[in-house]
Amino acid sequence: MDLKELIVEKVKEKFGSALEEVTDFRDDLSLTIKKDQIVALGKFLKEDPDLEFIMCRDITAIDWATRKKRFTAVYHVYSFKLNYTLRLKANIDDDPPTIQTVTSVWRSADWYERETFDMYGIKFINHPDLRRMYMPEGFEYHPLRKDFPVLGIPGSLPLPKRAE
Amino acid sequence: MGLEAKLQQDGFITTTIDAVVAWARKSSVWPMPMGISCCAIEMIAAADPKYDIARFGSEVMRFTPRQCDLMIVAGTVTYKMAQVVRRIYDQMPEPKWVIAMGACTSSGGMYRSYSVVQGIDQFLPVDVYTAGCPPRPENLLNALMTIQEKIGKTKARDFQNRTLADLELAQN
């Protein structure tokens, strides 16, 4: 059986209608799942003996700006056993955006989720240490959101005083 | 020629304290290498035997601000890093000078973005700006020579009207 078919079949069997969409664009398989199932899906993909997606390579997000479900969390996971990278997506519709953390599945998700929180303001529920990654503490905005101006918001980042 | 000939003639020379102090200062400018990004590589290159910053008495790159009188800010300064740069500058003893090395430090350079300070002169008193991305070592040496020229012109009274508060700020 084809590798992608195997993955899709297994996930479909386990999650049924929670699997919203399966796309295969340019040989990249991506699965869109309901956001409350993301931890369960991660755990399944990691622990299933035929799949073993034990490595979380990247977590990021997309800001669609005008869509009703404004944010999409994106996960890239890798299986050494299959030598295959799989993309997982979860659409987030609440405001402020929240999603369960996957740190209980992949420990490496810790800093990726912090980065995503810093840049998009997505709150990862139950994250062990959800602080900002790049921007200074106390900064109020999330720079990679579409409504954030490229040059920033004047006065939002303090500079040290210039001595005369 | 030179000092020896002078000493053989008369055994003494006359000058002013200001001239001697300025000459001593400008011939031993100790840089604080504030290497934040790629400009730092060129700054290091300026210290190697080919360009040899030691020719100008500035080979003593001190990694403690307490022993420095010239801060070479070499690299992109983000808002987050600006606090650090300023704190290190404040720890340097007076008198002190600043070189803004490269496009990023001088004006933000190609990083016209929310995270990068658009010119460190917004929070530091800059003496010499160096163009280039990154500037070649010769360019940094030229900036150093310009600083030396500037230091050579200083007089003791330039520092007399500093208030005690300024000096305390410098020591904190």
Domain containing A78 — which CATH number? 3.30.460.80
Q: In whole angstroms, give the CA distance from residue A22 to residue A31.
A: 5
Given an 8 Å threshold on Cβ–Cβ distance, is B123 in contact with A149? no
Question: Is there a domain that residue A144 lies in?
Answer: no
Q: What would the pLDDT profile of B5-25 be if each residue is shown by its tens digit?
A: 767 776 677 888 888 888 888
ipTM of the complex as predicted: 0.75
Residue ranges of alpha helices (H) inside chain A are 3-15, 38-47, 109-120
**Domain range enclosing A93:** 3-125
Question: Is there a domain that residue A134 lies in?
Answer: no
Pairing of strands A98-100, B70-74: unpaired
pTM for the structure as a whole: 0.79
B29-171 maps to CATH 3.40.50.12280: yes
Judge whether A133 is closer than 8 Å to chain B, CB to CB. no
Q: Residue A13's pLDDT band (boundaries 50, 70, 90)?
A: confident
DSSP A44-76: HHHH-TTT---EEEEEEEEE-SSSSS-EEEEEE
Q: How far is CA B4 from CA B12, B15, B55, in A?
A: 11, 16, 21
Q: What would the pLDDT profile of B96-109 be if each residue is shown by its tens digit?
A: 899 999 999 999 88
Question: Is there a domain that residue A141 lies in?
Answer: no
| Sequence spans of domains, chain B | 29-171
* Residue B100 exposed, middle or buried by CB count within 10 Å (0-12, 13-18, 19+): buried
- The answer to whether B81 and B120 have CB atoms below 8 angstroms apart is no
Question: Is there a domain that residue A31 lies in?
Answer: yes
Judge whether A134 is closer than 8 Å to chain B, CB to CB. yes
Residue in A135, A150, A159 nearest the CB of B117: A159
Task: Please count the CA atoms within 13 angstroms of the CA of B9 that sit on its side-chain side.
Answer: 8
Amino acid identity for residue A109 in this structure: A
Question: Is there a domain that residue A61 lies in?
Answer: yes
Q: What would the pLDDT profile of A121-135 be if each residue is shown by its tens digit?
A: 999 989 998 888 898
Q: What would the pLDDT profile of A41-95 be if each residue is shown by its tens digit?
A: 999 999 988 888 999 999 999 999 888 888 999 999 999 988 999 999 999 988 8
Residue from B79, B107, B120 to probe the interface with A (highest A Cβ count within 10 Å): B79
Residue A163: per-residue pLDDT = 52
Judge whether B94 is closer than 8 Å to chain A, CB to CB. no
Question: Is there a domain that residue A47 lies in?
Answer: yes
Q: What would the pLDDT profile of B135-152 be if each residue is shown by its tens digit?
A: 999 999 999 999 999 888
Question: Is there a domain that residue A130 lies in?
Answer: no
Q: In whole angstroms, give the CA distance from residue B71 to residue B33.
A: 6
Q: What would the pLDDT profile of B45-63 be if each residue is shown by its tens digit?
A: 999 999 999 998 888 888 8
Q: How far is CA B24 from CA B21, B31, B47, B116, B151, in A?
A: 5, 15, 20, 37, 10
Q: In whole angstroms, give the CA distance from residue B58 to residue B144.
A: 9
- The answer to whether B41 and B170 have CB atoms below 8 angstroms apart is no
- Helix axis angle for B137-152 and B39-47, nearest 10°, is 70
As given in the structure block, the two tokens for residue B66 are 């307490």
Given an 8 Å threshold on Cβ–Cβ distance, is A134 in contact with B169? no
Q: What would the pLDDT profile of A137-164 be if each residue is shown by its tens digit?
A: 888 889 999 989 988 888 888 888 755 4
Compute how many other C-beta atoms are within 10 angstroms of the C-beta atom of residue B46: 29
- Helix axis angle for B137-152 and B17-27, nearest 10°, is 170
Residue A100 has pLDDT above 70, yes or no: yes
Judge whether A1 is closer than 8 Å to chain B, CB to CB. no
Question: Is there a domain that residue A148 lies in?
Answer: no
